[in-house]
């Protein structure tokens, strides 16, 4: 059973190495690429102001975040949700960089850093599949017909839910589902044909000539009544 966690974060800015912090984490659980309905969503008090540029993207204000728990306080719950699931992230270096920065701040209590090679990054996946095209989340939603009208602002859980749909499409999910749909649609029709053929009368007409039948009857008579197949010769054999 393949367990994956589609993850997204929001931050105070774009530079984890210069003090920007995580303020929101959203995750969606997949089993064999199918959402289970299990999600994770928490806000964090970063202990520093949100930049104007970041606020314009996600709309999370300092006042809104002021009474939220710290990252250290939500970490046990986050780790329990992540478990041993493989992470799926769009532009993984950004989110992994922030997560590892938050881990490093915890000192001796920190979990091991996340290795990028252990993460499925959907951005290079999309670039390989659609070279030269825009491959941000909105562009991918448009390309795959995924409804993102609720996405007026970036939000970690909503973006993770949308990314889960995009990820399945990048794996070929739409083509696979169409194939299954065609097979499911064709199956009842095929079954009806088989049923009709099975129910149809199957008249049998002998192709023996009268002379051939006479010789055959004479041969049978010469074998006597104990011949094995005498029990299986029907009265309508000559029909």
With beta carbons less than 8 A apart as the criterion, state whether 9 and 99 touch.
Answer: yes
CA distance to 111, 159, 163, 167, per residue, from 155 (Å): 25, 6, 12, 18
| Beta-bridge partners for 43 | 24
Q: Is 154 a catalytic residue?
A: yes
Integer Rg of the chain from CA? 34
| Active-site residue (options: 33, 41, 58, 154) | 154
Q: Which residues contact 154 (CB under 8 A, 6 or more apart)?
A: 10, 57, 58
With beta carbons less than 8 A apart as the criterion, state whether 98 and 22 touch.
Answer: yes
Residues catalogued as catalytic: 154
């Amino acid at each position: 059973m393949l367990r994956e966690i589609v993850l997204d974060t929001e931050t105070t800015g774009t530079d984890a190495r210069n003090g920007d912090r995580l303020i929101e984490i959203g995750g969606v659980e997949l089993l064999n690429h199918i959402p289970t309905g299990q999600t994770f969503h928490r806000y964090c008090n970063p202990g520093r102001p949100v930049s104007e540029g970041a606020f314009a993207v996600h709309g999370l204000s300092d006042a809104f975040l002021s009474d939220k728990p710290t990252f250290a306080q939500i970490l046990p719950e986050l780790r329990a949700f992540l478990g041993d699931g493989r992470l799926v992230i769009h532009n993984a270096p950004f989110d992994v960089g922030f997560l590892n920065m938050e881990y490093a701040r915890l000192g001796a209590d920190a979990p091991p850093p996340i290795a990028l090679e252990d993460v499925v990054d959907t951005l290079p996946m999309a670039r390989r599949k659609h070279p030269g095209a825009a491959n941000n989340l909105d562009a991918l939603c448009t390309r795959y017909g995924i409804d993102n009208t609720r996405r007026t602002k970036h939000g970690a859980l909503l973006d993770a839910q949308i990314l889960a749909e995009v990820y399945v499409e990048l794996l070929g999910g739409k083509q696979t589902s169409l194939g299954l749909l065609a097979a499911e649609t064709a199956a009842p029709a095929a079954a009806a044909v088989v049923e009709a053929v099975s129910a149809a009368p199957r008249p049998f007409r002998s192709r023996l000539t009268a002379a051939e039948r006479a010789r055959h009857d004479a041969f049978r008579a010469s074998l006597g009544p104990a011949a094995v197949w005498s029990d299986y010769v029907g009265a309508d054999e000559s029909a």
